[in-house]
Amino acid sequence: MRVTSRRRLLVVLLVLTVAVLGLDVSGRAGVGPLRSAGGAVLGPLERLLSPGDGAAAPDAQSARDALRLDQASQQSVAGQQLRELIDSPDLSGREFVPARVVGVGREGAAGPERVTLDVGSRDGVRANLSVVSSDGLVGRVVAVSPWTCDVLVVGSADLVVGVTAGAGGTLGSVGSGAQGEHRRPAGELNLTVVERGAVRPGDVVTTLGSVGGSPFPSGLRVGRVTSVDEVPGDLTPTAAVRPAVDLTTLGVVGVLRTGPRSTPRPALTGGG
């Protein structure tokens, strides 16, 4: 290949790359298929290299039975984590697909912002489902390929979760610690509440729930308030939250299969 034609090829490819970048930043459709194509081609490679095999079977009941039978699995880390996940109070009565973290994106300057799970659309996973570990909320599914899915984790710049905080159930939202008026160290989240003085350090922050149960059902633990910003000039009261989930030690997680309810709710009569 001659030097001029190679340079021309380079310029064309760079322009295409900038075009894709612009499309992705502007949030238009068209980039999604590219991501899922990448997941479909490269995802199986990651599944192949995932640590161990078998404990995170797609069927929860069979996984549970297998664990009960297999005494040795009590000693394995993955089996222990799956047991903790099944016994977690957050998940009681909720249907979930057990999955294993097979890839962690740490290419950015921050900690992990996106992780890959070894379940995909063939396992009934779709975008906008929430992902939980035994400690609480991990994140939201943003891209699905046939055998893997990508999860945007709590604390990344693009994820904001509606929450209730404190004993009074004050409404608020939790987002990345780098956004907002007070810059927080990496690993801390920023909580914005609607009412001043309603949260204290130590208060538990749980999800508020979304319309139709997706992406976030209500009552999942997000974290705990560590400090409240007492600055009189602030327009909105804010606080620092330590996430309930340690993202660096994620192993077995569950994808919650929530959706809009299908049964009508009965009306009540007041007896006072």
Q: Which residues of the chain form contacts with other proteins (CB under 8 A)?
A: 1, 3, 6-7, 9-10, 13-14, 17-18, 20-21, 24-25, 31, 34-35, 37-39, 42-43, 45-46, 49-51, 101-116, 143, 145, 148, 150-151, 155-158, 176-179, 184-187, 248-249
We find the least distance from the C-beta atom of residue 183 to other proteins, in angstroms, to be 8
Distance CA 14, CA 8 (A): 10
Q: Considering the complex, what minimum distance in angstroms separates the CB of residue 198 from other proteins?
A: 25
Cβ of residue 261: shortest distance to other proteins, in angstroms?
31
User: Minimum Å distance from CB 272 to other proteins?
Assistant: 50
Distance in Å, CB of 107 to other proteins, minimum: 6
Shortest CB 269 distance to other proteins, Å: 50
Mark 201-224 as b/e (b = at least 16 C-beta within 10 Å): eebbbbbbbbeebbbbbeebbbbb
Q: Please, is 69 exposed, middle or buried when counting C-beta atoms within 10 Å of its C-beta (0-12, 13-18, 19+)?
A: exposed
- Between CA 172 and CA 222 the distance in angstroms is 12
125 vs 198, which CB is nearer to other proteins? 125
d(CA 222, CA 164): 10
- Sequence-distant (6+) residues with CB within 8 A of 120 are 39, 43, 144, 145, 146, 147, 148, 149
Contact 256, 98 (CB under 8 A): no
Of the two residues 218 and 226, which places its CB atom closer to other proteins in the complex?
Answer: 226
Q: Which of 172, 177 has the CB closer to other proteins?
A: 177
For residues 191 and 169, give the distance between their C-alpha atoms in angstroms, rounded to a whole number: 13
Spatial separation of the C-alpha atoms in residues 71 and 265, rounded to whole Å: 43
Specify the residue, 111 or 209, whose C-beta has the smaller distance to other proteins. Answer: 111
Bond prior to 215 in cis (omega within 30° of 0)? yes
Closer CB to other proteins, residue 104 or residue 127?
104
Q: Give, as one character, the DSSP assignment of residue 55.
A: T
* CB closer to other proteins, 21 vs 194: 21
- Closest approach, Cβ 11 to other proteins, in A, equals 10
| 192/170 Cα distance (integer angstroms) | 10
Nearer to other proteins, 20 or 194 (CB): 20
Amino acid at the residue 169: G
